[in-house]
Chain A
Amino acid sequence: MSIDTSKVATSNSSAALADKPNRVGAAANWADERLGLASLAKKNLRKVFPDHWSFMLGEIALWSFVVLLLSGVFLTLWYDPTMAEVHYEGSYAQLRGIEMSGAYASALHLSFDVRGGLLMRQMHHWAAMLFIASMMIHLLRVFFTGAHRKPREMNWVIGCLLLILGTLEGFTGYSLPDDLLSGTGIRAADGFMKASPVIGSYMSFFLFGGEFPGTHIIPRLYVVHILLIPGLLLALITAHMLLLVYHKHTQWAGPGRTEQNVVGFPMLPVYAAKAGGFFFIVFGVCALMGGLFTINGVWLYGPYDPSKVTAGSQPDWYMGWPDGALRIMPGIETHIFGHTISWNVMLPILVLPIVMFLVLMVLPFIEAWITGDKRDHHILQRPRNAPTRTAFMVALMTMYGLFWAAGGNDIIAIKLHLSINQITYFMRVAVFVGPVIAFIITKRWCISLQRKDQEDLLHGYETGIIMRSPEGGYSERHLPLSPDRAYVLAAQDRDPDVIAELEAGPSGPDGNGVEPKTGIAGKLEGVRQRLRLAMYADNVQKPTREELEAAHHHAEHEHELQAGAEGHAADGHQFDGHHSVEDDRLRADD
């Protein structure tokens, strides 16, 4: 089918409507004469962003943060962060006449006596979950595709900080209603602080303004929740976005895409409309969830009472993994010179999260040290093409998931009728063994996928058509990939030849007699070489041009041999979705 482009719609024509008096122009002129924005906007108004669904994950986080700001401002109009005791006389009958903190009473007031208040509370909570969940998935996308490589390492670090702050923001937020569940969470947090060596009880007394629970913790968490952390989040998000604009977005390999360009659609109008529209969609989903799904029904828990607790007490899901570590940690305490060191609390809840986040933050730098790669990278890698990296993150995910599951060991025990003791013993081992198994499986899996790509590239894809030779043998017909697809597969980076490096000896791969390092530097270099070997040695490398040509030559030869036997009955394999079929017809149509 040929297209009559003479009828192309006006929106796609490039002719400017220059002669008409232009109001936008007048407004822009007014603004530019005062603010001088034109030189800045010149570059950015039509800035090109590449298109891919996975680039939307960070956007979900961004927009849910905006929803959090908007709904949060609404909540502050009624929420009262006071721990002064009040007598509840609001319209929730079950709690009327009960003594509670002013904070809890105002949360009930918001839920039952302010129209739309419950909706906003629930939207705020759902948006918070969405915020953290989308940050995590965005982080995984970035790492699995290698978008954290130079020059984007600092943006990775900023992203990690955003995740930490978002988690803290979530914790301070769900503590504010001062209900029984959140009060139990604060009590546990008090226990965590007291477990810090030397300064623990001082930290607790300073934060709580005296003994737990005191009357200061809620107002202080409130200030942290609505001023301190949001301010930091806002600043870091701004930096994150500015760096994104400066670096320009990464893109997938494809026809016409190179390390030197970025191919996609312009900010104005396409991305302004798409991203703006997406904001409304995220906002709308939050509103629907807030309207239809109850979350954190604080009225069911009752006011905080330090002598009470509900069975199945659990923090919000994103706090689940350190809580799981806390649950499966053996009860070890050291008593020394009249002092107590609570390893059972300190290690899982104070040390482990910090170590995990530090590991996360330095990942790009460790990777760069091992690879020695100093180049800028703007073309994304498919996860399979960096098997060791992918496997490492899957190992971390497995560890996270097991800790997280351990945080629900009581729920698992009840639902699956298992012994909680056995689950706990199992988890103690699994959090160490699981990641190793996951690493091995993922790495081999990636390499298998690489082999499959290699096969497709060299010998074509499987058509599903079985050929029978005159001798009676059967074979499957392979056809070459479409040129675009083949290019995508062949566009991956070639890994360094570590085997050759090893053979070349310590003097370096070029053998030009670089002085071998000695002492600690030499040992480190040795470690680095071993890591490089582990990282690259098993990977499948894409074929060279000669190999590809030879393979294609061979395939053509095969086809020629098969041509006689081909007949015409099995025609139609061009309709297998791998080719453009616009000009093709099934033979029956002829």
Chain B
Amino acid sequence: MSDQHGSDPHGSSDDLPEKYAGHEGEMQAADEPIRNPGLPEHTWRPTDVDPKAERRAERQVAGIFGLAAVCAVLFVVSYFVFSIGGSPEAQVSQIGNLGASNVALGGTLGLALLLIGVGLIQWARKLMSDHEMVEMRHPARSSDEDREVTLKALNDGLEESGIARRPLVRNSLLGAVTVLLAPAVVLLRDLGPTPNQVAEDADYPGAGLEKTVWEKGMRVVRDVVGTPIRPGDMEIGDLFNAEPELVFAVDEEGEPILEGESLLIAKSKAAVVLIRMDPDENKPAPGRENWAIDGILCYSKICTHVGCPISLNERKTHHLLCPCHQSTFDLADAAKVVFGPAARPLPQLPLAVDSEGYLVAQSDFREPVGPSFWERDSQASTTE
């Protein structure tokens, strides 16, 4: 065998030609530095040879199963014993910082399951046969005979169908099935309106990708409480989260004008931040010289990256940081991106003061707010 090896410098190295595939085992054996010593002798476990140990293991396993049953009963008990609900009337019992019900249910269920698992595995390890068995493998491929028969059946079938001889039938079938894709796609059409349809037909204000509910004269009001803001309410360095007045507006009967879906859509585009800085620090973009009131600037709160609301203000630098992906905008420099993955400045809302001295919008945003999209014409932005 070693002679054979010596004469063939490539040995049975990889890349064996197909012809060797069948003799692989022998080839390897010839080249192996150490012969496969064969299966090691089976060693008996204490439970195999000592009836006492066997009975002990039996009791052990049964005991574990018994404990599991106890835990399952305790689960049922805990279910009825511990109350849940956070209302002040029903004082909820606690274990640690967690609700007692949850801890007890999870603990008992977990232990019951774990013990069944442990018992089963202990049974397998200690009491079931531990003789290693050997099974022969078969190649994944079918036998040559099977392949031949299958190939013949396939060819016969194809031949009888005439799919090769009748290209007209075949191609028209392919064509028809391809066209059938159209109904499948078209069926999904009514999943939603197109952006244009929304912009033109939607029955709520500020619809579409390019618009928000802001309009000329709409007051900028505080977030959450909805009270209007006078310039004097803000100190230099202050940052207010604000909304358009419409978000809080009610009709004659006291019902909110925007509710549910239309409210969320309005907020998702119209949320703004107000910041007051020393007017000398602000470097307005060309055409935006009269958008600020006494150093108060208003920017969209919706990040131009993927649309998170931005709110982390760095008071000293006028930098606004998005908590999602850390895009940072310089509010004193037309909200240009100074850091992070966003590519565009935050859109700015032109401000004015109404007759009662409250901050209002001069108009809607002059460019779409939020993340970029294909149809967005970013070059034709702010100046009108």
Contacts and interface: CB of A to CB of B under 8 A. Distances in A.
Contact of A284 (B15, B117, B195): B117
Given A3-B49, A212-B265, A212-B268, A195 B373 contact: yes
B121 interface: yes
B192 A209 contact: yes
Contact of B133 (A264, A281, A327, A486): A264
B379 A338 contact: yes
A374 B193 CA distance: 53
Given A328-B341, A487-B36, A198 B120 contact: no
A269 B124 contact: yes
A258 B25 contact: yes
A429 interface: no
Contacts, number: 438
A103 to B, nearest CB: 13
A205 interface: yes
Interface string A493-514: 1111100100000000100000
B85 A500 contact: no
Given A194-B372, A309-B308, A484-B37, A115 B105 contact: yes
Given A184-B324, A205-B194, A331 B133 contact: no
A256 B131 CA distance: 14
Interface stretch (A136-144, A395-403, A538-546, A554-562): A538-546
B169 interface: no
B261 to A, nearest CB: 5
Interface in A240-293: 246-248, 255-266, 269-270, 273-274, 276-292
A90 B113 CA distance: 32
B353 interface: no
B374 A198 contact: yes
Nearest to A329: B341
Contact of A205 (B50, B127, B198): B198
Q: Name the residue among A112, A188, A210 with the largest chain B CB count within 10 angstroms.
A: A210
Contacts of B265: 211-214
A273 B25 contact: no
Contacts of A323: 325
Contacts of B25: 258-260
B236 interface: no
A185 B344 CA distance: 21
Given A274-B121, A305-B267, A280 B116 contact: yes
Q: Name the residue among B114, B135, B207, B342 with the largest chain A CB count within 10 angstroms.
A: B135
A201 B13 contact: no
Interface in A190-237: 190-192, 194-202, 204-216
B307 A200 contact: no
Contacts of B191: 206-207, 209, 216
A348 to B, nearest CB: 8
B249 to A, nearest CB: 16
A85 B259 contact: yes
4 smallest A-B Cβ distances: which pairs?
A291-B106, A191-B306, A277-B120, A280-B117
B121 A256 contact: no
Contact of A294 (B34, B44, B98): B98
Interface string B43-55: 1100111110010
5 contacts: A200-B373, A211-B268, A266-B133, A421-B339, A545-B32
Contacts of B127: 9, 11
Interface stretch (B136-144, B146-154, B176-184, B275-283): B136-144
Interface string A107-121: 000001111101100
B335 interface: no
B374 A313 contact: no
A409 interface: yes
A308 interface: yes
A303 to B, nearest CB: 10
Interface residues of A, number: 155
B348 interface: no
A90 B84 CA distance: 12
Contact of B209 (A201, A261, A378): A201
A85 B265 CA distance: 13
Interface string A81-105: 0011100001111100000000000
A116 B79 CA distance: 8
Interface string B201-228: 0100001110000000000000100000
Contacts of A9: 47-49, 51, 54, 127
A423 B107 CA distance: 41
Contact of B343 (A260, A266, A338, A344): A344
Nearest to B327: A331
A340 B375 CA distance: 7
B231 interface: no
B325 A326 contact: yes
A580 B311 CA distance: 69
B379 A335 contact: yes
A530 interface: no
Contacts of B377: 335, 338-340
Nearest to A43: B135
Nearest to A243: B140
Given A330-B341, A342-B371, A494-B12, A292 B118 contact: no
B289 interface: no
A202 B306 CA distance: 16
A345 B372 contact: yes
A260 B15 contact: no
Contacts of B294: none
A304 to B, nearest CB: 8
A262 B133 CA distance: 8
A570 B14 CA distance: 45
B355 to A, nearest CB: 28
Contact of A309 (B137, B323, B378): B323
B198 A211 contact: yes
A375 interface: yes
Given A194-B372, A278-B121, A372 B15 contact: yes
Contacts of A47: 135
B142 to A, nearest CB: 12
Interface in A369-420: 371-376, 378, 409-410, 420
B128 A270 contact: yes
Interface in B266-298: 267-268, 271
Contact of A256 (B5, B39, B207, B341): B39
A263 B308 contact: no
B234 interface: no
Given A278-B121, A281-B113, A333-B344, 18 more contacts: A84-B260, A118-B99, A194-B371, A195-B371, A198-B374, A206-B191, A213-B268, A255-B39, A257-B36, A270-B128, A277-B123, A294-B98, A307-B309, A327-B341, A331-B340, A497-B13, A544-B33, A545-B5
Interface string B99-131: 101111111011111111111110110011111
Contact of A262 (B31, B135, B223): B135
A5 B372 contact: no
A190 B114 CA distance: 42
